[in-house]
Every structure is written in C-alpha cells, then in structure tokens.
Amino acid sequence: MFRFTAVQPTLEDYWRSIILFGKNSASYKFALGKALLELPPAHSEIITLDELAEPFAQHICSHLKLADKQGTAPSSQFLEACRTFNRGELTKEELLASTVRLGFGDVIDAFHVTGDPDAVRFYADERSGRKTQLRLTDEFFRLSKQNAAESLSSELEARWRLVETAWELTLPQHVIEYDSEAEQLTVKLEDTHGRRPVTNCRDALNGYQKGKCFYCFTAIVAGTSLGDPVEVDHFFPHRLKPHGLGAPIDGIWNLVLSCQQCNRGPGGKFDQVPGLRLVERLHTRNSFLIESHHPLRQTLMLQLGTSETSRGQFLQAAYDRAKKLLVHEWLPASEDDRAF
C-alpha cells in the first residue's frame, strides 16, 4: 500500500487508499464513506452520529437488497435491523435509533486503518461520554471542494459491489473478467457456465490508476462529465486473443483506463505493443490490485501467479510473445508527471 501513496499522493489518493486497501470484514466502511462524500461542502466541521445515521443506514439497506451477505461475521444485530426494516417490520425511527446504537461501533475506529502511519485523516473521533460526534478535518473539506466526490463515490460503489459479490459467491473459485459489450466486470459462474455482471469496469479500475490515463498520466475522471473521455483498453491488444498469452486477454490484469488520445487518437496505441517500460508500469498497477483485499487480489493471483516474481515473469513472457507476433512497439508522445 505504501507504494500507492509514495509518488505524488493527492488527497484523493489518500481517500482511495482507505477504500481500496483497508481490510473488509463488513461493508460498514463503504456506507460511512458514501455518507461522508454526500455531505455538502458547506457543512459544519462537527457532524453527529444522528446526522450520519440516515444516509449510512440507507446505503446498507440498499445493498442488502443486492446481496444479503454484507460481512464475514455469522450474525449482526445491526444488519438484522436493516433486513427487518427492508421487510417493512421496523419503522424508520427505529432503524435510525438502532443505527446510532449498533452501526458505528467499530467502523469509526477502523475507517482510517490502512497500515500507513502517515496517512491523511478525514475526521477526528470525538465520541466521549454523551458526545457522539466526529470533527471533520481541513483535509476533508479540501477534498470536498475538489469536485472529486462523484468520481470517488462511483469508485467506492464499484469496490463495494466487488466485495459483496466475493462474499456471496465465495471467490476466488470464480474469476472476474471484462464484458466489452456491457462494459462491465463479470463473474464467471463455473457451475452454470454463465456470467453475472458485477460493476462498471471504469469505476472499478480508476482508483488504482489514481484517476490518471495509464499511458500519459493526464486526468481522467470515470463516471462523470469531468476530465477527458475514459476508455477501457486492452494493454496487450485484443487481436492477440487467438494466440494466447497464458491468461485471459479480457482479464483484469490486461485492462487499463486510457484517454481517447492515447488509445485511438492520432499517434495512438491502437493494436501496437506497449513499450517495455509500460509493461513495468502494468506490473506496478497490478501490484496495487494484488495489495488490495478481495476480490481483485484473488483474481490477479489466479491469472498471473502467487508471487511478485512469477507475475513479473509472466508479463515479460507476454511482452516477448506479443512483440514477436505484432512487431511494432508504441509509447505515448508525451507524458505528464509520473503518478505511479
């Protein structure tokens, strides 16, 4: 995780490190993150748990309708209260009271835990005695003023969908791949030989690239009208699929987000083989995926290998084969400052 924030970290990157790299034993962190992102920029620096309870509970209740398993513990009083509300057997007032009493117990303390002692904190815990409040930090308000909330919320939602799907289907027995027609990451269901759409590919991958084009590092903001258009690109061209590279060409390992210019503009990549230093960059990006927890981590290890050495060797072999078949090598004409 330290590598993710080692190069030009922004406030968005510190937020992403919390969402993408923190451990997931329940989905409460995602609900808290979404509730915080939805706060208006002019909100006071103090927010009470009573204020947070409604959006927090609403997000949990909505996701329980998508996937009933929202944690790894065998039971949860709070989740059961949300299920009871969804069945119409609990009033909204009763749900909010249960949320304040049961929903925030561990997540307030655990939200910022990423293993990085220097990580930015977006609130301070001021729960003490009868006080049930958080104090939002200057960093939080700076983040909220950077028009990043929509993109970060989309990334968080994609991460949540992947995690709850992993719990529901007990990954890694299932493999996540890309459906280019639906522009979705899908889960391969081995028992039925079918596939289940999971989440938007752009939202799932954008955070791991720090909101930058993989090739030239210009800003690309998935899921919004801000920034340049975002395109999903097969790093090793899709035309290599019949030749085989040792792992699915539509696998996460081979998908990157690109600006339109790099992907298919004048002088763009098209079906050329990316240069070797870009292969090294792909190894770094894939390491970010590996260092995060279920389910992208498990998918990458299934596709590429369990050790960093074996994954590097796989990419080198894929590059050698692609270069032999396609000959021409491509690099972007220019690049912004390196982001990772």
Residues 263 and 241 in one domain: yes
Q: Is residue 62 part of a domain?
A: yes
Q: What is the mean pLDDT of residues 52-62?
A: 98
Q: Is residue 133 part of a domain?
A: yes
- To the nearest 10°, the Cα dihedral for 90, 91, 97, 98? 20
Output the pLDDT for position 224: 52
Q: What is the mean pLDDT of residues 298-317?
A: 94
- The rounded distance, in Å, linking the Cα atoms of 12 and 151 is 10
Q: Is residue 166 part of a domain?
A: yes
Q: Classify residue 270 as left (phi > 0), alpha (psi -120 to 50) or beta.
A: left
Tokens 């406030």 found at = 11
Q: Is residue 170 part of a domain?
A: yes
pLDDT, one tens digit per residue, over 322-332 is 999 999 999 99
Residues 181 and 315 in one domain: yes
The 10 Å CB-count burial string (b at 16+, else e) for 138-171 is eebbebbeeebbebbbbbbbbbbbbbbbbbebeb
Other Cβ atoms closer than 10 A to 199: 19
Residues 129 and 189 in one domain: no
pLDDT, one tens digit per residue, over 225-280 is 455 569 999 999 999 999 989 999 999 999 999 999 999 999 999 999 999 999 99
Other Cβ atoms closer than 10 A to 305: 18
Q: Which of 123, 152, 167, 117 is nearest to 15 (CA)?
A: 152
Residues 213 and 69 in one domain: no
Structural domains of the chain, count: 2
**Any long-range contacts for 36-43 (C-beta under 8 Å, 24+ apart)?**
36/122, 36/123, 36/140, 37/144, 37/149, 37/152, 37/153, 37/156, 38/149, 38/153, 39/136, 39/144, 41/141, 41/144, 41/145, 43/136
Output the pLDDT for position 106: 92
Q: Note the pTM of the prediction, 2 decimals.
A: 0.93
Residues 170 and 311 in one domain: yes
DSSP code, position 207 = G
Q: Is residue 6 part of a domain?
A: no
Q: Is residue 64 part of a domain?
A: yes
Residues 138 and 17 in one domain: yes
The 10 Å CB-count burial string (b at 16+, else e) for 264-291 is eeeebbeeebbbeebbebbbebbbbbbb
Residues 42 and 104 in one domain: yes
Amino acid found at 152: L
Per mean pLDDT, which of 38-52, 142-156, 183-197 is the most reliable? 38-52
Amino acid found at 237: P
Output the pLDDT for position 121: 96
Q: Which domain holds residue 307?
A: 154-330
The 3-state DSSP class for residue 232 equals strand
pLDDT, one tens digit per residue, over 169-203 is 887 777 899 999 888 999 988 665 688 899 999 99
Residues 122 and 181 in one domain: no
Q: Which of 248, 239, 158 is nearest to 206 (CA)?
A: 158
Residue 312 and residue 235 in contact, taking contact as beta carbons nearer than 8 Å: no
| β-strand pairing of 230-234 with 194-200 | unpaired
Examine the fold and report which residue of 96, 119, 144 is the final residue of a domain before the chain moves on.
144
> What are phi and psi for residue 284, nearest 5 degrees?
-65, -45
Q: Is residue 109 part of a domain?
A: yes
Residues 138 and 264 in one domain: no
| β-strand pairing of 133-136 with 123-125 | antiparallel
Residues 219 and 303 in one domain: yes
Window from 67-81, 86-100, 113-127 with minimum mean pLDDT: 113-127
Examine the fold and report which residue of 120, 144, 168 is the final residue of a domain before the chain moves on.
144
Q: Is residue 2 part of a domain?
A: no
How much of the chain exceeds pLDDT 70, in percent? 96
- The rounded distance, in Å, linking the Cα atoms of 337 and 228 is 17
Banded model confidence at residue 223, pLDDT cuts 50, 70, 90: low
Output the pLDDT for position 23: 79
Output the pLDDT for position 247: 94
Examine the fold and report which residue of 97, 120, 144 is the final residue of a domain before the chain moves on.
144
SS (H, E, C) 17-45: HHHHHCCCCECHHHHHHHHHHCCCCCCCC
Residues 129 and 196 in one domain: no
Residues 194 and 257 in one domain: yes
Residue spans of alpha helices (H) in 181-307: 201-206, 260-264, 276-291, 296-304
Task: Write out the two tokens for 42.
Answer: 């002019």
Q: Which residues, including other chains, have CB under 8 Å from residue 54's CB and lie 6 or more apart?
A: 96, 99
| Res. 1: pLDDT tops 60 | no
